Amino acid sequence: MPSSLRRAVVILVAPKYLVGAVAVIRDSESGNLLLLRQPSKAGWSLPAGLLKRHEEPAVGAARELFEETGVRIAPDDLTPGVPNAIVHPVGVVDTVFFGTVAATQAPLDIDGGEIVDVGWFPVDDLPRLTANTIKLLACYDLAPEPATPQPAAEPTAGPETGTRDDGDRP
């Protein structure tokens, strides 16, 4: 098969992903985490967005952070997360970067359209988060992994006492 035809076939059948950048920003004094709320999401999330064509991921993370919260951090001051990429089931790959800033020196500024609220939260007392934010923070031990719902066991009568037996059953 000619290489141009082979390339066309690969482009048609290969999975396609959107690539984004996420900024996980902590207050250098308290360790609090910077979160934001968007009107279209049910919960708080991290500053993030899609990369522009040919944009370096750290540059995109710094840009999104500034656009969404007003907090400015130089891309060189952001540290890539380990792992640096999180793949979401919806076809998005997030590159993750960490940074710190003194919250008292970083006034928060939102537009009220794309972002409706922004704030600093203690890691051990986070507000309700979006599912993707929980998954991402759990990868870095900053949030508990979401519990997988378990089916309720049916109560059974114990052999002699008639009491409830929730033990293992075959």
Q: How confident is the model at residue 156 (pLDDT cuts 50, 70, 90)?
A: very low
User: Mean pLDDT for the chain?
Assistant: 83
Give the model's pLDDT for residue 165.
38
Q: What is the pLDDT of residues 89-128, one digit of tens each?
A: 777 899 999 999 999 999 999 877 889 999 999 999 999 9
d(CA 91, CA 50): 12
Please tell me the distance from the alpha carbon of residue 28 to that of residue 121, in angstroms, as a whole number.
13
Which of residues 147 and 168 earns the better pLDDT score? Answer: 147
What is the count of structural domains for the chain? 1
Q: Is residue 6 part of a domain?
A: no
So what's the pLDDT on residue 145?
A: 61
Mean pLDDT for the stretch of residues 64-93: 92
Q: Does 158 reside within a domain?
A: no
Q: 128 lies in a domain?
A: yes
- CATH number, domain with residue 38: 3.90.79.10
The pLDDT of residue 9: 72
Comparing 156 with 129, the larger pLDDT belongs to: 129
Q: Is residue 160 domain-resident? A: no
Domain membership of residue 47 (yes or no) is yes
Indicate the pLDDT class of residue 21, thresholds 50, 70 and 90. Answer: very high
- Give the domain range for residue 132: 23-139
Q: Over 90: is that where the pLDDT of 68 sits?
A: yes
Amino acid at 147: A
55-64 contacts, C-beta under 8 A, 24 or more apart: 57/19, 57/21, 57/84, 57/95, 57/97, 58/21, 58/97, 60/20, 60/21, 60/95, 61/21, 61/22, 61/23, 61/95, 61/97, 62/23, 62/97, 64/21, 64/22, 64/23
Q: Judge whether 2 lies within some domain.
A: no
Q: Say what the pTM is.
A: 0.76
In a domain, 102, yes or no: yes
At residue 11, the pLDDT reads: 66
Long-range contacts of 140-148 (CB under 8 A, 24+ apart): 140/24, 140/81, 140/96, 140/98, 142/24, 142/33
User: How many other C-beta atoms can be found within 10 angstroms of the C-beta atom of residue 73?
Assistant: 19
* Residue 122 CB contacts under 8 Å (≥ 6 apart), including other chains: 30, 31, 32, 33
pLDDT of 1 > 50? The answer is yes
Residue 135 lies in a domain: yes
Report the C-alpha gap between 24 and 82 in whole angstroms. Answer: 12
